[in-house]
Structure 1
Amino acid sequence: MGAMDVILIAMPWAGITYPSIQLGILKSLLDRSGVPCTPMSLNLSFFEYLAVRPEADRLSLEQYDYIGEASGLGLGEWIFASAAKGHADAARDDAYRDFVTGRNPEHGVLEKAERARRLVPGFLDQCAEKILALQPRVVGFTSTFSQTFPSLALAKRLKKQAPGLRVVFGGANCDGTMGKTLHALYPWIDVVVRGESERGAPRLFRELAAGGVISRQPGLCIREDGEVTAVVEPEPGGVNMDESPLPDYDEYFQRLANSPVSDQVGAGGITYESARGCWWGAKHHCTFCGLNGSTMNFRSKPASPVFEELHTLARRYKNLHFIVVDNIIDMNHVKELLPMLRAGDIDFSFYYETKVNLKKQEMRLLHDVGVRTIQPGIESLSTPILKLMRKGTTALQNVRFLKWCAELGITPDWNLLYGFPGEPPEEYSRMADLMASLTHLTPPSSVHPICINRFSPYYEDADKFGIRLEGPKPWYRFLHETDEKSLNDLAYFFEHGYDDGREPEQYVEPVFRAIALWKQDAEKNYRKLTVKRGPGFVLVTDGRSNGKGGTYTLDGVAGEAYLACERGATPHRVWSTLSPEYQSGVSENEVKDFLDQMVSTRLVFEESGHYLSLALPEGERLGATDRPVAGLQKQNQPAPARLFPATVV
């Protein structure tokens, strides 16, 4: 085999501030199997290609990410579609532009997309020239979300100039029937890999590079001598995580170090995977979630190998920031890995995804090891709606998570979804009112309707949930020139309606307004509801622009009662934690009356008889309110005649 038998490619619109983990793992797999290969981060190359153009042709990082992530618009795909098809279709393009305009895209982004589209042929020619100069025998493309048409466009150019070149597609866009249909529609794709690649990729690429017969491995779609074969997909379950090697990111970091956009992109982060699947989804598949496809089964690396791999990658790339791509954090890692990292005294920083039902000490552990941004599966601030989506959480847990994030110095990157079938419309007015009590916490990054994704329960059992599937998102029809059945088999995102005829936009408006106000003063209000302990009293200061303002002095029993609600508690639980001298002089009903008063002043959140204090410890005393109520120092004086004084100054 030659030095460049295989080239592995990540096209736009994969993120450019971190390396492709797909390329990194494949590179290590093939190296380990004796198959020489070279990765190419052409997503970064495209950003560079635009960066040297006139100002009007350039994309900011935010615009690049928006184009790649706007799954409802298909902008990233459209930019490369005519190059992939080999011709422009004016009528289709005009219809597509009308479609995008009608969806109110970010200001100016369609004009930027038009300019980028005109530059695509030159970029593809440049890429093809560099690739073919290396005389590869095989080119592999990883395709996730908006990478299908960019990959098709370059693959077609390569195949036209080098007909003997073997082209392989893989990635999330090729899972299940999507991969089989993609292979059937675009004849310049020789092989599609469906499912995880660890077990089959080394053998496949070795056979392709040698020019021999391709073994019929599970999940492959093969085109040989005019015949197309789709081998049955592997059994569900997926590979063991010890079969997945440490990714090799040399090419990305070398390219970034020498890139003209390195200052704009920054130092980059290291993409890392310690687990696959979802332990929650394996038990209770969230109704809207289409992630994991055929590999929901949760698998995780033990803590010790993860610890060693993190150190190895950090040393190799002189980088301490890790983007952990696990769909959900392994709770065994919380128990075992995080204490190891904390004891290691290395200044790592991490981005993680998690459920919100973490204990406070677990969140403090996350903070201590360097988690500064986290993606929690909040989705809603309504318990009835959370039940509909099978989240296994409550609104109180979600609010408590946001509160603890603000207290501990962790930024939650969360979204609010709406439009769940069967959701009570009145919940949105209730949520809007709740949001007025949370303006000192981090608002949602975005609010948008649910999308019906392939592999989700809403897609698989649409009738059961009262959902009416209305075909693929419209942009698929503007881009793929094929019949309706093929479009349905190819698509991941789908349009939908409701059997009961509901139109969520008619009742979600209160939440839109509340979030707009929340974001408007987010920086000014952040952490501006605070609590301080005094000897025998507690001070709660409300500095929120929408709050009643002032400082509440909670003497004696009132202070103890407020602090007892730090995690959320019933009036009975609060009463049972009071000091004996207070407990004997106050009833459970009086405790409840006081807590209801705190709710009315937006200092406490109540749900189903559980009360959660909302104030944060002032200053840098992280976790100060986590101390037991007994820690409140008492003055040597009798309990006041008025059991629950709450004066405001």
Structure 2
Amino acid sequence: VFSKEVYINHWETTKDRYREYFNKNLSKNDVIQQDFSFEKYVERTDQFYTWVLEHVDWKSYDIIGFTLNYGQLLPSLAIAKKIKEIDPEKIIVFGGSRTVGELGKRVLDVFNYIDFIVSGEGEEALFRLTAEYPDYKSIPHLIYRKDGEILWNNSDYYIDLNTLPIPSYDQFFEELSKTSKQIQQVFYDKGRLPVEISRGCWWNKCSFCNQKTIHPIYREKNIDRFIEEIEWLADRYKIVDFQIIGSTLPRNHRLFLKKIIDLDRGFTFIAETRADQLKSSDYTLLKNAGFSIIQTGIESFSGNYLKKMKKGVRVIDNIATLKFCKENGITNFYNIIVNYPNEEKIDFEETKKNIQLFKQYLDLPNICQLRVVYGSEIYDNPESYNIEKLYPSEIDTIMHPPEILEKGLAYVYDFKTKQKVEKHDWNGFIEEQKKEQKLYSVYKKGDQPDINMFQFYFIDSRNFLKIYDKRDLDNVKIYNLNKLERDIFLACIDIISLHELKKEFSQIPDFKLTAILRTFEQCKILFRENEEYLSLPLNHRILTHKELPKKLDSSFCYSTEIQKTL
């Protein structure tokens, strides 16, 4: 809607398209749709635009900066344009992922009320811009105009994160104190302070991601410096909840987690993780350190699809992550990416097959439709991914006039494939699994454990091991494993190779070991990927930290007479 302030004529000619797009997307939420019309949305947007212009003392600033992600370009353009109209002497600086590299040069070329753009991280560039304003050539990552040309000081200089000052949130909390008690209560109940641990990605190969364009070099903050920062922020603002900013945990994650645990200050964290980075014991450390919610870059349960994505992880890594999270009571909000331009039937079928193994007892994914973003490998090499043509996304064609998009200002792209790709009902499949999962929910009664957590678990009794498999309510199974089977099963708690298993169980013939593994796999209590193995049931000791009742009340049990002995 900010388009009306940036492209007045375009807004007038495309208002109906805006309304249609708004209604189409809002129709998915009946509650909002009832009380929030397109006209109301426009009215609220106008109110916000006016409020920003009137409630900030723009005259007191010489340099005014805007940090942009994808959705902030148009609002920032609208406000910057108005500021420049009021006072042409103000210096307007844009930065953020939406204006990185060549894309930033195009933005500066099109919008003459922007004076500078910082491509990538901006601490050093902004500091030098204030101190050495006329000397543009000395400022790394700065994009600017000179003699009718757009120049970019592309640089391999990247700041040491440990030299940065601890961020001050004084102004934020001052403004928060002036809001209603309801807003303050929501923040102190659910809000978190961001704390940076790293920039970039040490893997940096995923075909859908443009992290390498934004932060080409991976760097971590020193662990002791991170600890110092969260303690300072906690003491200053009396807050214990933090959002860790970084694409994954630091490489020495065990030391990192143990130092947080040693603080014993009740901190909680949300963070992103990699599926192949952690073992079962690490998730217990995560839980003890206060990580109640994480987001793992899982992206797929198809090995074929993961290769297309160049994720560098396997399906077995992804399943292990979800298993360990469930055991430790850690919520994992994750996506699977679909709609690749070279998606195949095997990608869909393999995902369906693997999800069948855990759909009843592990967290299910959200579906994320692929959008090709500027700077990703798919964007740079579309022909390698069955793409004939990239074109701006639907919302961009609504927000921006064609003559603007023709200059390469789009950030998100749709595509036309060279060869026809079969469409698969990913959303329908996942929704079906989520509905089915609800059927397995049995609510806790009295002092009994929540049986929903124990649909597929094992109890280790040292000389034997029992596995309770209630994934199929019509065919509940209980497996009794003898001492040898128990030892082999427990060896597969973490992912382990056949070679390692043979070495660990060298006292038995290879054929006997492989026969036991094959039986486990046939009973679907073990997952195999190539020659790597992972046990699937949850460990009830980690789940409950207490023994199950010797006999479950019949109202909590799924009726069965089947007991299988391996």
2:63·2:93 contact (CA, 8 Å) conserved in 1? Answer: yes
2:10·2:401 contact (CA, 8 Å) conserved in 1? Answer: no
What is the distance in 1 between the residues matched to 2:16 and 2:268? Answer: 46
Partner residue in 2 for 1:536: 463
1:236·1:295 contact (CA, 8 Å) conserved in 2? Answer: no
The residue correspondences of 1:421-570 to structure 2 (distance < 5 A) are 421-483=341-403, 486-487=405-406, 489-503=408-422, 505-506=423-424, 508=426, 511-512=429-430, 515-517=433-435, 520-521=438-439, 525-534=452-461, 536-544=463-471, 548-569=475-496
Partner residue in 1 for 2:202: 279
What is the distance in 1 between the residues matched to 2:514 and 2:362? Answer: 33
Letter in 2 for 1:356: A
1:271·1:323 contact (CA, 8 Å) conserved in 2? Answer: yes
Question: Structure 1 residue 647: deviation in Å?
Answer: 4.3
1:222·1:228 contact (CA, 8 Å) conserved in 2? Answer: no
What is the distance in 2 between the residues matched to 1:566 and 1:646? Answer: 21
Q: Pick closer, same or farther for the CA change 1:436–1:129 going to 2, 3 Å.
A: same
Partner residue in 1 for 2:551: none
Question: Structure 1 residue 214: deviation in Å?
Answer: 6.2
What is the distance in 2 between the residues matched to 1:182 and 1:114? Answer: 30
Q: Pick closer, same or farther for the CA change 1:263–1:104 going to 2, 3 Å.
A: closer
2:116·2:144 contact (CA, 8 Å) conserved in 1? Answer: yes
What is the distance in 1 between the residues matched to 2:257 and 2:487? Answer: 33
Letter in 2 for 1:248: S
1:408·1:622 contact (CA, 8 Å) conserved in 2? Answer: no
Q: Pick closer, same or farther for the CA change 1:477–1:232 going to 2, 3 Å.
A: same
Q: Pick closer, same or farther for the CA change 1:646–1:248 going to 2, 3 Å.
A: same
2:145·2:151 contact (CA, 8 Å) conserved in 1? Answer: no
Letter in 2 for 1:559: R
1:416·1:446 contact (CA, 8 Å) conserved in 2? Answer: yes
Letter in 2 for 1:646: K
Cα deviation digits, residues 262-294 of structure 1 (max 9, x gap)? 23344421111121111111xxx1111112424
2:106·2:407 contact (CA, 8 Å) conserved in 1? Answer: no
Partner residue in 2 for 1:10: none
Verify: 1:341 aligned to 2:260, yes or no: yes
2:360·2:437 contact (CA, 8 Å) conserved in 1? Answer: no
Partner residue in 2 for 1:325: 245
Question: Secondary structure of 1:490's match?
Answer: coil
What is the distance in 2 between the residues matched to 1:569 and 1:155? Answer: 56
What is the distance in 1 between the residues matched to 2:240 and 2:328? Answer: 20
Of 200, 211, 217, the match for 1:291: 211
Verify: 1:415 aligned to 2:335, yes or no: yes
1:219·1:230 contact (CA, 8 Å) conserved in 2? Answer: no
2:342·2:421 contact (CA, 8 Å) conserved in 1? Answer: no
2:109·2:150 contact (CA, 8 Å) conserved in 1? Answer: no
Question: Structure 1 residue 620: deviation in Å?
Answer: 4.6
Verify: 1:304 aligned to 2:224, yes or no: yes
Cα deviation digits, residues 503-539 of structure 1 (max 9, x gap)? 3x23647744554446545865445311112253222
Question: Secondary structure of 1:416's match?
Answer: strand
Question: Secondary structure of 2:201's match?
Answer: coil
Worse overlay, 170-179 or 158-167: 158-167
What is the distance in 2 between the residues matched to 1:112 and 1:263? Answer: 28
Question: Structure 1 residue 421: deviation in Å?
Answer: 4.4
Of 120, 139, 153, the match for 2:78: 153
Partner residue in 2 for 1:91: 13
Q: Pick closer, same or farther for the CA change 1:449–1:518 going to 2, 3 Å.
A: farther
Question: Structure 1 residue 361: deviation in Å?
Answer: 2.9
What is the distance in 1 between the residues matched to 2:432 and 2:145? Answer: 55
Partner residue in 2 for 1:106: 28
What is the distance in 2 between the residues matched to 1:422 and 1:501? Answer: 9
2:117·2:144 contact (CA, 8 Å) conserved in 1? Answer: yes
What is the distance in 1 between the residues matched to 2:393 and 2:248? Answer: 28
Question: Structure 1 residue 454: deviation in Å?
Answer: 0.9
Q: Pick closer, same or farther for the CA change 1:177–1:577 going to 2, 3 Å.
A: closer
Gaps (5+ residues) in structure 1? Answer: 1-78, 625-644
Partner residue in 2 for 1:187: 112
Q: Pick closer, same or farther for the CA change 1:220–1:103 going to 2, 3 Å.
A: same
What is the distance in 2 between the residues matched to 1:313 and 1:570? Answer: 44
Of 608, 615, 623, the match for 2:537: 615
Cα deviation digits, residues 38-90 of structure 1 (max 9, x gap)? xxxxxxxxxxxxxxxxxxxxxxxxxxxxxxxxxxxxxxxxx322133346734
Question: Secondary structure of 1:483's match?
Answer: helix
Question: Structure 1 residue 461: deviation in Å?
Answer: 1.1
Cα deviation digits, residues 371-425 of structure 1 (max 9, x gap)? 1111111100111211221111111111011101111222212101123344441
Q: CA RMSD in A?
A: 3.2
Question: Structure 1 residue 473: deviation in Å?
Answer: 0.9
Partner residue in 1 for 2:526: 604
What is the distance in 2 between the residues matched to 1:292 and 1:317? Answer: 34
The residue correspondences of 1:237-386 to structure 2 (distance < 5 A) are 238-260=158-180, 261-267=183-189, 268-281=191-204, 285-332=205-252, 334-357=253-276, 358-386=278-306
Letter in 2 for 1:342: I
Worse overlay, 141-150 or 540-549: 540-549
The residue correspondences of 1:59-138 to structure 2 (distance < 5 A) are 79-86=1-8, 89-99=11-21, 106-108=28-30, 111=36, 114-132=39-57, 135-138=60-63
Verify: 1:215 aligned to 2:136, yes or no: yes
Worse overlay, 323-332 or 98-107: 98-107
Letter in 1 for 2:479: Y
Gaps (5+ residues) in structure 2? Answer: 443-451, 547-562
Letter in 2 for 1:164: E
Letter in 2 for 1:188: Y
What is the distance in 2 between the residues matched to 1:518 and 1:594? Answer: 27
What is the distance in 2 between the residues matched to 1:171 and 1:113? Answer: 29
* Superposition TM-score, scaled by structure 2 size: 0.84
Q: Pick closer, same or farther for the CA change 1:253–1:519 going to 2, 3 Å.
A: farther
Q: Pick closer, same or farther for the CA change 1:202–1:521 going to 2, 3 Å.
A: farther
Partner residue in 1 for 2:313: 393
Question: Secondary structure of 2:228's match?
Answer: helix
What is the distance in 2 between the residues matched to 1:89 and 1:339? Answer: 55
What is the distance in 2 between the residues matched to 1:432 and 1:608? Answer: 18
Q: Pick closer, same or farther for the CA change 1:409–1:314 going to 2, 3 Å.
A: same
Letter in 2 for 1:338: L
Partner residue in 2 for 1:204: 129
Q: Pick closer, same or farther for the CA change 1:546–1:621 going to 2, 3 Å.
A: closer
Letter in 2 for 1:436: Q
What is the distance in 1 between the residues matched to 2:439 and 2:156? Answer: 48
* Superposition TM-score, scaled by structure 1 size: 0.74
Letter in 2 for 1:562: F
The residue correspondences of 1:29-40 to structure 2 (distance < 5 A) are none
What is the distance in 2 between the residues matched to 1:584 and 1:164? Answer: 83
Question: Secondary structure of 2:465's match?
Answer: strand
What is the distance in 1 between the residues matched to 2:58 and 2:426? Answer: 56
2:10·2:400 contact (CA, 8 Å) conserved in 1? Answer: no
Question: Structure 1 residue 202: deviation in Å?
Answer: 1.5
Letter in 1 for 2:523: M
What is the distance in 2 between the residues matched to 1:250 and 1:442? Answer: 41
Partner residue in 2 for 1:587: 512
